[in-house]
Amino acid sequence: MDTRLLEDLAALAETGSLTRAAAARHVTHPAFGRRIRQLEAWAGTALLERGHTPLTLTAAGRELLAQAEPLLQALAQTRSRLRGQGTAGAAVPRLRVGTGRTLARTLVADWLARLRAPLKGVRVEVVTRSMADIALLFERGEVDLLCCYEHPALSIRLSAQRFRHLSLAQDRLVPVSQADAHGAPRHRLDGGRLIGYAPTLTLGQLTRDHLERSGRNGEAAIVCDSADAIQEFVARGLGLAWLPWSLVSADCRRGTLVALGGRAEQIPFEVRLYRPRARQDEALEAAWAATAR
């Protein structure tokens, strides 16, 4: 038994769609279908009611999932505890936080600063990847907490049966330009030189969705996979870009950058913190309780 197949079944029960479940599990539709058939071969019976839309589980599928959920949670918890042991066998308090690079620099840094007291003596490991990759690590139990963006244009889906979340912050992408000597924007929204995100970045998904819905030209003169670098490009007058307000608010207050347009040009999004539903070790529980207050 490959435990990933049970996670696939949980994703399918959550989404009711092979296509959406495949996207949530970061595999192609055909590959996901093969994995579900592999699980059915192991179980020796059908697990899906394929004639229904949305897809539903058979009685056997529901029974297997009910047994699998606590098993997956217990395995992830045990793995976390074992990995937190030192070479001499003594437990070393550790908290692994998975997030994106931009969030790590801004909102995650602020959050960890507020948790100095609850996490005293705990080694915090911050792991940064793309949002799709870090969500997969979280589902596998390779990080303890997931800090990620939430927006209708995003496709990250996590099983509500296995995980719960709280809202860590509200932020927004704001179009900004370098200010000229008179404090006016060097680049304007209409016809301005756009600096865009690489397709793999979540912020790029949000920006592209906004540009498509607003009918603006989304062709970028410069494309980069780092929000920090894009901020520097904007600061040097190379073009305009949609950047997180948490990243550029200080520059805008100083007058080196200028926010463009009104609220209609801003892209609000939520930052969520996810954890497993099952009780975890003391470090995670302390961090969660302090955050929820």
Domain boundary, last residue among 40, 55, 83: 83
Pair (79, 15) in one structural domain: yes
Domain boundary, last residue among 53, 83, 113: 83
User: Which CATH number fits the domain that encloses residue 15?
Assistant: 1.10.10.10
pLDDT for 87: 43
Which of 226, 168, 171, 176 minimizes the C-alpha distance to 197?
A: 226
Pair (148, 250) in one structural domain: yes
Pair (79, 96) in one structural domain: no
User: Which CATH number fits the domain that encloses residue 147?
Assistant: 3.40.190.290
Pair (142, 183) in one structural domain: yes
Q: Which helix (H) or strand (E) holds 273?
A: strand 267-276
Range of the domain at 196: 91-293
- 252, 176 in Cβ contact below 8 A? yes
pTM above 0.85, yes or no: no
Residue for token digits 């939430």? 150
DSSP class per residue in 55-90? -EE-HHHHHHHHHHHHHHHHHHHHHHHHHTB-TTS-
Domain count, the chain: 2
Pair (162, 289) in one structural domain: yes
Mean pLDDT by groups of 10 residues along the chain of 293 residues: 85 86 84 91 91 87 88 74 55 87 93 94 93 87 94 82 91 97 93 90 92 86 94 96 96 96 94 90 92 91
Beta bridge partners of 178: 257
Pair (101, 52) in one structural domain: no
The amino acid present at 267, given as its one-letter code, is I
Query: How far apart are alpha carbons 244 and 173 in whole angstroms?
Result: 4
Q: Which residues contact 20 (CB under 8 A, 6 or more apart)?
A: 155, 157
Q: Which residues contact 10 (CB under 8 A, 6 or more apart)?
A: 65, 68, 69, 72, 159, 161, 162
Domain boundary, last residue among 59, 83, 107: 83
